Amino acid sequence: MSSSSAPSSLPPLAVVGIGYVGLPLALNFCGVGRKVIALDVDPVKVEKINAGQSYIKHIPSEDIQKEVSRGALTASLDMAEASKCDAIIICVPTPLDRHLEPDLSYVTSTVQALLPHLSKGQTMSLESTTYPGTTEEVLMPMVESMGFKVGVDYHLAYSPEREDPGNEQFPSHTIPKLVSGQTPACLEKALALYKSAYHTVVAVSGTKVAEFAKLLENTYRSVNIGLVNELKIVADKMGIDIWDVINAAATKPFGFKAFYPGPGVGGHCIPVDPFYLTWKAKEYGIHTRFVELAAETNNSMAAYVVQRVSEALNKRRKPLNGSRILAVGLAFKEEVDDLRESPTFRIMDLLAEQGSIVDYYDPYIPSIMRTREHLNWAGKLSVAWDKATLASYDCAVICTGHKAINKSELLAWSDCIVDTRNLLGSLPEADRAGKVLKA
């Protein structure tokens, strides 16, 4: 959605957390004439927004500059700015802690910082993925501690984000938006808010339903990816190409949806969300073995990839220890610069632990930023893409299938390649023979 008209006279909307979810959300509302105040604790993001600069690959700086220049979008570190707004949408991270249990500290600290600036009549909506009951059990007591009655003079909603970064087929404002409210009055307010910016808004019966729906969506993907990752290993042992198998099965027009194997799963959702569900299920005495098994399978794929690298090197009478390995692709999926929870990190860690000298190439990630889980790689630079550089590595491991990667050059310049994404599958088999090992 886009608009060149002046922002409306309505009070501004606050979007708290302006990352991969919050920034496109803010632009959606700007595009329909709403003023948006983007709030974040990261001064770099705030500075870039106010300068009209993007820090996310698939969001052009021009889109931000347009909204900033016409007064529709401003960014601030000051949570007090939320007092000017009639609605507050929270889009902060909900990671797992080291015990694989939900970490809601970003949500609770954000709400705590907002509490002194709340006012009657506002609507607060949480978009962060979380376990069923969070809105009711965590957010509602915090808001009511300020003397507000939820559903009477303050409105709480939950509307799970459904962003798919880099997917040009589904711009965010075209993806059906699930919306729930803590009370019928809360739902009415939330529907009015979201209907202005989304083509399709779907009301659900309660916040727990919406919270569970988000977990179901991503657990569904985790389970099916886990299944095909497990079958990939079986197929390899049988000397069968799993990609050929999937393509054959996908010709069935009903009852089958193709999922594809890889080196694991990444992004903020699929590696994390199933554990939110399993953690909450334990509260009810239920052990979600099927869900946990899929997550374990996906998490084990990095070790399988390293095993295949070892096999490829052994055929060349080279050990892992001391070999130079190039990870091709760092982002968790193709055509994005998002490295959150990328399985490439785990592969790089395992290779380094075996004594390999590890570098990476990613056309969209020139250097590795600081992350919570992989501080050891922070500041490392992507290598140059040229014949001399690629030929200097004992093995190249394709971890992300970016279209920007020149497949023909990679195949010509590298003597040993482990392909986890079937990126080279379209190239002549005669050229791949003896060079490429799938994993």
Helix (H, G, I), strand (E, B) or coil at 38: strand
DSSP single-letter state for residue 299: H
Q: Which helix (H) or strand (E) holds 398?
A: strand 395-398
* Structure tokens that stand for 196 in this block: 């202005």
Crossing angle for the helix pair 207-238 and 242-249, nearest 10 degrees? 120
416 a catalytic residue? no
Give the strand pairing for 177-181 and 155-158: antiparallel
> What does the DSSP assignment read for 201-258?
EEE-S-HHHHHHHHHHHHHHHHHHHHHHHHHHHHHHHHT--HHHHHHHHTT-SSS---
* Structure tokens that stand for 378 in this block: 């922070």
CA distances from 409 to 20, 388, 427, 435 (A): 32, 11, 11, 13
What Rg value do the Cα atoms of the chain yield, rounded? 23
Cα–Cα distance, 22 to 96 (Å, whole number): 20
Q: Among residues 85, 269, 399, 416, which one is catalytic?
A: 269
CA distances from 320 to 227, 263, 359, 420 (A): 29, 18, 14, 18
Secondary-structure percent of the chain, ordered helix, strand, coil, rounded to 5: 40, 15, 45
Cα–Cα distance, 403 to 326 (Å, whole number): 18
CB 339 within 8 A of CB 365: yes
Q: What are phi and psi of 418, to 5 degrees?
A: -110, 120
Q: What are phi and psi of 4, to 5 degrees?
A: -115, 5
> What does the DSSP assignment read for 10-23?
SPPEEEE--STTHH
Crossing angle for the helix pair 343-353 and 289-314, nearest 10 degrees? 50
Find the angle CA(269)-CA(236)-CA(244) to the nearest 5 degrees: 75
> Which are the catalytic amino acids?
269
